[in-house]
Chain A
Amino acid sequence: GAVVSQHPSWVICKSGTSVKIECRSLDFQATTMFWYRQFPKQSLMLMATSNEGSKATYEQGVEKDKFLINHASLTLSTLTVTSAHPEDSSFYICSAPTSGRGETQYFGPGTRLLVL
């Protein structure tokens, strides 16, 4: 089946630094990818829709200048957390729909970010 990978799987950084998270569709092309955030013992909250060749669409309340999204190719989307702070510590998960296979979408394994 289709696979979506994320890199890194976990990252620890100092407050004020920027962190880049990659989401790749390994055996299919994805013109759209989604980025979710999950705080401990809470559900996933959609942050933004990443669109290949155009600007990302952000959900209400998500700062686009803080969470930079770049959909560089049909198999890669990146999320950069700029000037990270401890409150940005979370589990970030991406997903990619497989167009032409019904409403199936595949989720990446997630990236755990800890900002000290």
Chain B
Amino acid sequence: KQEVTQIPAALSVPEGENLVLNCSFTDSAIYNLQWFRQDPGKGLTSLLLIQSSQREQTSGRLNASLDKSSGRSTLYIAASQPGDSATYLCAVGMDSSYKLIFGSGTRLLVRP
């Protein structure tokens, strides 16, 4: 059974810092991996989608990497801003069905 773990559970950094969020999964036979952002009491916003054949994806200040063999993904946020404060969720898809298995998230606070 696939398990997705995110470390750390919470992170507080001053504005301007570069930071890395970690995601690990137990079954490396994934179809894809996605990073989402969730604001308090809100739905999810997709940030980056990495196919199993890809090693990284970039969007603006965000860069996500994928190492299937080791069961790891990282989300790198450059020059963090207070507006980046949210919970970041990692989710893996095991096949093309769109069903996702989520990690428990990392709550990020960027202090002004």
Residue numbers of A with Cβ under 8 A of B are: 4, 6, 32, 34, 36, 42-46, 49, 91, 93, 95, 97, 102-110, 112
Contacts and interface: CB of A to CB of B under 8 A. Distances in A.
Contact of A108 (B32, B43, B97, B100): B43
Interface in B79-112: 89, 91, 93, 96-105
Residue of B4, B36, B98, B102 ringed by the most chain A CB atoms within 10 A: B98
Contacts, number: 55
A34 B99 contact: yes
Majority secondary structure, B binding face:
strand
B103 A43 contact: yes
A45 B2 CA distance: 13
Contact of B44 (A46, A93, A104): A93
Residue of B45, B46, B104 ringed by the most chain A CB atoms within 10 A: B46
Majority secondary structure, A binding face:
strand
Interface of B: 4, 32, 36, 41-46, 49, 51, 89, 91, 93, 96-105
Contacts of A105: 46, 98
Contact of B98 (A6, A45, A97): A97
B98 A34 contact: yes
B104 A109 contact: no
B47 to A, nearest CB: 12
B98 A32 contact: yes
Contact of A46 (B46, B51, B100): B100
A115 to B, nearest CB: 17
Contacts of A93: 43-44
B43 A107 contact: yes
A110 B42 contact: yes
Residue of A45, A103, A109, A110 ringed by the most chain B CB atoms within 10 A: A103
